Structure 1
Amino acid sequence: MERLGAAWSTLGVISAGGVIGTLARYGLSTAFPHPPGSFPWATFVTNVTGCLLIGVLMTMISEVGQVHRLLRPFLGVGVLGGFTTFSGYVIDIGRAAAAGALGTALAYLAGTVICAVPAVYAGAVAARATLRLLRKGRS
């Protein structure tokens, strides 16, 4: 029964985080809309930023030590999972291609991967550097 309670609390924080992340993404896409065939900058920036933040988060959680068991599900799966939108990424590629903007679709397809994967690494590197400075300051 205790395990069932832990599962429900995890689902609860993922849901709450997902609402926050999804609303943030929706706000950005509403503030910066794009017509079919144009480069979807809001989604691009959202996904690359989300990847950077997941690199920071996972490094901090793994290297700081003991953190609350619901922190990673809330921030990682919930907030950042709701914030990033790789399903929207695929839809935007299809819309650009359908609008006859094949070059834009291909640039977006490649550009997101070329930027998002290194963003995770950059986030991890930045988090480690920050932790080193904080530890050095305490000694």
Structure 2
Amino acid sequence: MKQLLLVFLGGGIGSMLRFVISRIFNNYFQYFFLGTFLVNIIGCLLIGIVLGLSFKGNYLTQNQILVLATGFCGGFTTFSAFAFEKHSLLSSGELLYFLLYTLSSIVFGIVAIALGLWSVKLL
């Protein structure tokens, strides 16, 4: 039960922060959902750091990993919004923006995870 509450707490905080960031940044560009892009890339960086710390040694407890990786990052990032935004771009015939947004999200996400894992190795 404690583990469920930890995931719930982290997920709630992550979801609220995602909502705020999306509300602020999704209005900047017509065909690029900057808020969703930012939370997904930042979430990838954070999970890379959290998991890197857990791989490196005893820097984080299992409960801290649950709160931060499963809870916060799980609530903060959003694949469903990402998929819906891709669908809306395709539906409106914006193939170039669809490709740009999809590829940049995937590439920058992978790079952010690698950067997070790499940054922990420097400690």
How high is the TM-score relative to the length of structure 2?
0.92
Q: Match for residue 32 of structure 2?
A: 39
The reply to whether residue 110 of structure 1 matches residue 103 of structure 2 is yes
Q: Match for residue 74 of structure 2?
A: 81
Identical residues among aligned pairs (%): 28
CA contact (8 A) 2:14 2:76 kept: yes
CA contact (8 A) 1:51 1:117 kept: yes
Structure 2 unpaired stretches of 5+: none
Name the CA distance, whole Å, in 2 between partners of 1:120 and 1:29: 21
Runs of 4+ residues over 3 Å off in structure 1? 34-37
Name the CA distance, whole Å, in 2 between partners of 1:67 and 1:43: 28
Q: Deviations over 1:40-77 (max 9, x none)?
A: 11111111111011111111122231633211111001
CA contact (8 A) 1:37 1:100 kept: no
Q: How many residues align?
A: 123
Name the CA distance, whole Å, in 1 between partners of 2:4 and 2:32: 35
The reply to whether residue 123 of structure 1 matches residue 105 of structure 2 is no
Structure 1 unpaired stretches of 5+: 1-7, 132-139
Name the CA distance, whole Å, in 1 between partners of 2:85 and 2:28: 10
CA contact (8 A) 2:14 2:71 kept: yes
CA contact (8 A) 1:14 1:73 kept: yes
Q: Match for residue 136 of structure 1?
A: none
